[in-house]
Amino acid sequence: MRLLLVHPSALLYSEIFLRLEPLGLERVAGAARDAGHQVRVVDLQVLDQADLRSELASFQPEALGISLNYLANIPEAIEIAEWTKRAVPGCFVFFGGHSVSFVAEDVLAQAEGAVDAVVRGEGEPAVAPLLEAVRDGGVDGVPGVVTANGHGPAPQLLHGIDTPRPARDLMRHRRRYFIGELDPCASIEFTRGCPWDCSFCSAWTFYGRSYRKASPEAAADELASIHEPNVFIVDDVAFIRPEHGDAIAAQVERRGIRKRYYLETRSDVLLRHTEVFERWARLGLSYMFLGMEALDEEGLELYRKRVSPDENFHALETARKLGISVAINLIVDPAWDEERFRIVREFALSVPEIVHLTVMTPYPGTEIWHTEARRLTTRDYRLFDIQHAVVPTALPLDVFYRELVRTQAVLHQKHLGLRTAFAAARVLGRNLAHGQTNFARMLWKFNRVYNPQRQLADHARPVRYELPLPPHTALGDRRQLYVHTRPAAHTKPPGPQH
């Protein structure tokens, strides 16, 4: 079959800080191609609607799949589905991805026939059976597939993540992908899943707290095939298993692979396995994202991070000693007042690390979705992007956005203002010498993208599609939140037990 896969447009923060290659969609494309289908991909992060319409006209896909890892893209995806049905009558349209897995039935109803199915759970094991069923009829029986007729069998979980390999060759404008100064930047996956259970996160509920590792040989093979000089390791928490990180490092050393790396991890993992991060620093690990989330014990307990403030600050010191630049994330509680914003600004200016702010957002699939959803002030999908407040704020909303953007601007100026102009110019010059302009554009877009008037005005836009409210669920057994479930023999997670 002719399959066209689509990634929606970039979200607000992606306009500045990063634009990542759609690795999950590339892997689904690889699985479909391995099954003998003809596949094309359109990434609307780097292409536009005209490109998509042109592809529809020339390719005439028999099936079109849209990746929905972010709630904020759901209205755009439904609109794409609607005009796909008009442009290519008979085309089977389906959605898949992390976020839509938690609201599949509601999205199908909202699409009013423009979407034929939603794939819940991992897309790689589902896409080939789905396309076979589309060709032969009877998609209702495909594992993980939801249609207007209801749920099919439970989603299947990949046994291992060595295959399918991502179909990177299908991507146009690969040099448009970047993260900060790592420009251009590819992405790779060494592990999948997370054994922790933070209350604001849906990674563990999506994967059912499963955790799988790529074989060191397969990871190194894929890394060696990547042409970009920079690589983002997309694991939810890198190097939980130190022996796995060491084994991949040994393969990288043996093959003489030289890249610069960016990864995400936890403070306690960094402190427990410092020697692995030290080894990767020698291999080119340049940047690390640490989700500190809160500065005090109360906030950490609220989000069930299971780390202490002392561990977080010790981790920062450890990363400094290793020569790894750190980006910190703090979650902005809508209950913050002006004094709390001031304290955060003072902290951010007192440390050398980059500090990012994300607004506490109850997403479907998280525990806080079930505790906070009844307090929502808006159900506009487009505002669920961790940059808008969707529950009541202690400050008037306009003042909240003023303080939020003021704080973000201070942090932006700290790293990209005149005081760091020399370092930025050096990086900028290096990137421009290689024809890379993503980092340069990022430097000058902040005030246009982030401003309180724009964020406040977003709340006044007409709303066509609204996020559904969750059913009342008693969370005594949190496995009720899982998309994927595992056989009893595999229920013990590889990380900390809680």
pLDDT at 421 over 70: no
Could you tell me which of 94, 138, 209 has the C-alpha nearest to residue 497? Answer: 209
Stretch 15-41: mean pLDDT? 94
Name, in order, each residue with C-beta under 8 angstroms of 164's C-beta and a sequence gap of 6 or more: 27, 30, 31, 34, 124
Stretch 441-450: mean pLDDT? 64
Residue with more model confidence, 446 or 20: 20
Could you give the CA distance from residue 453 to residue 451 in angstroms, rounded to a whole number? 6
Confidence of residue 497 (pLDDT cuts 50, 70, 90): very low
Could you give the CA distance from residue 183 to residue 428 in angstroms, rounded to a whole number? 10
Q: Which secondary-structure segment (H or E) carries 41?
A: strand 38-43
> Within 10 Å of residue 17's Cβ, how many Cβ atoms?
17
* Alpha helices, DSSP H, located in 273-322: 274-283, 297-302, 309-322
pLDDT at 434 over 60: no
Q: Over 423-463, what HEC string results? A: HHHHHHHHHHHCCCCHHHHHHHHHHHHCCHHHHHHHCCCCC
pLDDT at 419 over 50: no
Contacts 24+ apart (CB under 8 A), 368-371: 368/199, 368/200, 369/470, 370/470, 370/473, 370/475
Residue 142, helix vs strand vs coil:
coil
Confidence of residue 491 (pLDDT cuts 50, 70, 90): very low
pTM: predicted TM-score of the whole model, two decimal places: 0.91
Please write the tens of the pLDDT for every residue from 142-169. 999 999 999 989 999 998 999 999 999 9
Distance of CA 436 to the CA centre of its chain: 23
101-110, 219-228, 402-411: segment of lowest average pLDDT: 402-411
Write down the pLDDT at residue 437: 57
Write down the pLDDT at residue 50: 96
Residue with more model confidence, 476 or 214: 214
pLDDT at 441 over 70: no
pLDDT at 397 over 90: yes
Confidence of residue 125 (pLDDT cuts 50, 70, 90): very high
Residue 184, helix vs strand vs coil:
coil
Write down the pLDDT at residue 481: 77
Write down the pLDDT at residue 448: 66
pLDDT at 493 over 50: no
Please write the tens of the pLDDT for every residue from 127-143. 999 999 999 988 999 99
Quick check: 38 and 90 in contact, CB under 8 A? Answer: no
